[in-house]
Structure 1
Amino acid sequence: MDDLPPIRETIARHGLSASKALGQNFLLDEQLLNRIAALPGDLAGANVLEVGPGPGGLTRALLRAGAKVTAIEMDARCLPALEELSEAFPGQLTVIHGDAMKLDHGAIMGGAPFHVLSNLPYNVGTALFVKWLSGENWPPQWLSLTLMFQREVAERIVSKENTSAYGRLAVLAQWRSSAKLAMKVHRSAFTPPPKVMSAIVHVTPADAPEGVPARTLERLTEAAFGQRRKMLRQSLKGVPGACEALSSLGIDETRRAETLSVAEFVALARTLNTLR
């Protein structure tokens, strides 16, 4: 590692610049990157998936921590810099040139458990997060998610009911996982500095409630928060059986989605499943 130049020099030597179209913002502060890599705990010998490594700032910190990293990078310009890292850490880094949204992450990781750490590209961050949280198979193959988001998105993920930030992301993140805001990151830490502040969310799987199909909960939250200003009797009228489920649980159908707790959404999904 000591033989590698600072990441800033690597960026300059390869003529790299953050692509707005790809939602890139490079992190260069090595102390900050080391702190991020430490959030999941000891990564020595652990499998780690990183999406959008760019020139490899966080990748260096993960490799330095002893992780075995699989990095998915869409930007071909960054591949030579990542190849240098692969040579500097023999056997620790695998780079895949492709679109993370179109790839089977479990298959890429060979069926083994893995951690996800990523300074997610802003333009696909939320979609990837939902992808990792979705699906009937639980517990998931991933052991933890440590992800950089715009602060506004991070706050939505960890928010509670009866707040303006509370919505579908919060329910999906919290009904069978534990989500916390692990670190706030100032915009000045990035090159170029984004217009918004950022934050890191750390998510670990929890026990899934019994009798609650993930797809049912996903449909409920999509409908309820898709028309969040409307009463539940209106926003959920397109979900067969939803109004009957509300009634059986004693949930006032004139309430709005943001007033329902995660536990109430889970109960609603379970009841809806039994009514079918």
Structure 2
Amino acid sequence: MCLSDLPPLRDVIARHGLSAKKSLGQNFLTDGNLLDRIARVPGPLEGRTVYEVGPGPGGLTRALLKAGANVIAVERDSRALPALAELAAAAGEGRLRVVDADALGIDEEELVGRGAHVVSNLPYNIGTALLTRWLASPVWPPWWASLTLMLQKEVAERVVARPDTSAYGRLAVLCQWRSSARIAFEVNRNAFVPPPKVTSAVVHLTPGDMPPDVDVKQLERLTAAAFGQRRKMLRASLKAMPGALAALESCGIDSARRAETLSVAEFTSVARLLSAK
């Protein structure tokens, strides 16, 4: 059997008795055209390594393999492993490696090496945590060449949000400091089995240039304090953070402003001074 001989994904799901588990944040995609569209977002994948988290019954995995990628997939739901084993056999030539593990405990660089593309319909309950971890790497450029991720639309909007908007916050600052980010397209809830309660969106991120001399942990502490009380002026939200108010003054930033009015560049300027102390 080869990839073109595989039965429809819905038949695979039914034959293996698979159902999406809410506790694992699962929602399966079965629309082949949509899955192919997601696989096209990173660009040509022929011969490239792709890292996928939570493949489930393997719908997106199929699309990635059809696009010529070599896929390393991490799946913690043992119920899906037989279906993925069938897919690996159909792909042949060792093109699909399935790792039975929790993605939150994986050392991705050790597993997939550098230069891999991440393409994943991320489980909703760990999507933001994984994205933040991949962006907060102490080593930059990171191990990944691009991130193409299905996220809740609300989270996707936070990734690309601009200052002076309600969606702008810690995630926007981190994403836009370290990467170029865009929403590739939205996905209607009815495309999933079962349909989630929210609309989803596919985001695409590519690493930016080596960031200025800013400690990522310092930036995370700064934005946590600033946005933790986002309705307050910075002089109030940052008063407990040593050196923060002096850094604001040195950067020419009025401490009467609120966090959501500061640009990414302003946040990194303050964090740079704090990192130098």
* TM-score normalized with structure 1 length: 0.97
**Secondary structure in 2 matching 1:2:** helix
Q: 2:167 aligns with which of 140, 165, 168?
A: 165
CA contact (8 A) 1:158 1:179 kept: yes
| Mapping of residues 198-209 of structure 1, within 5 Å | 198-209=200-211
Q: Distance in 2 between matches of 1:112 and 1:270?
A: 27
Aligned partner of 1:93 in structure 2 is 96
Paired with 1:124 and 1:161, the residues of 2 have a C-alpha distance of: 26
Map 1:100-179; keep pairs closer than 5 Å: 100-109=103-112, 111-179=113-181
Hey, what does 2:224 align to over in structure 1? Answer: 222
**Is the partner of 1:115 in helix, strand or coil?**
strand
2: CA distance between counterparts of 1:102 and 1:162?
A: 36
Q: Deviations over 1:72-128 (max 9, x none)?
A: 00100000000001000111000011110111111111x332000000000000000
- Report the CA distance between 1:238 and its aligned residue: 2.6
Q: For structure 1, list consecutive stretches of 5 or more residues without a partner in the other structure.
A: none
Letter of the 1:211 partner, please give it.
D
Matched position secondary structure for 1:161: coil
CA contact (8 A) 1:175 1:208 kept: no
Shift of 1:135: 2.2
* Among 234, 237, 240, the residue aligned to 1:235: 237
Aligned 8 A contact 1:113 1:143 in 2: yes
Moved over 4 A (4+): none
Amino acid at match of 1:108: L
- The Cα shift of 1:239 comes to 2.0
Alignment of 1:75-94 (within 5 A): 75-90=77-92, 91-94=94-97
Residues 214-240 of structure 1: per-residue CA shift (max 9 Å, x gap): 111111111111221221112212321
Tell me the equivalent position of 1:213: 215
2:252 corresponds to which residue? 250
CA RMSD of superposed structures (Å): 0.9
Q: Number of matched residues?
A: 274
Counterpart residue identity of residue 217, structure 1: L
Corresponding residue of 2:56: 54
**Residue of structure 1 aligned with 2:67, choices 56, 65, 68:** 65
Provide, for residues 177-212 of structure 1, a one-character-per-residue CA deviation record: whole Å limited to 9, x for no partner. Answer: 100001100001001011110001100001133221
1:114, 1:141 within 8 Å by CA — same for their partners in 2? Answer: yes
Q: Is the partner of 1:175 in helix, strand or coil? A: helix
8 A contact 1:149–1:199 mirrored in 2:
yes
CA offsets, 1:119-158, max 9 Å, x none?
Answer: 0000000000001000221000100000001101100100
Q: Distance in 2 between matches of 1:234 and 1:100?
A: 38
Q: d(CA) in 2 for partners of 1:264 and 1:161?
A: 11
Aligned to 1:192: 194
Partner of 2:39: 37
Q: Which runs of 5+ in 2 are unaligned?
A: none
SS in structure 1 at match of 2:23? coil
Contact 1:135–1:215 (CA under 8 A) maintained in structure 2: no
The answer to whether the 8 A contact 1:231-1:255 is kept is yes
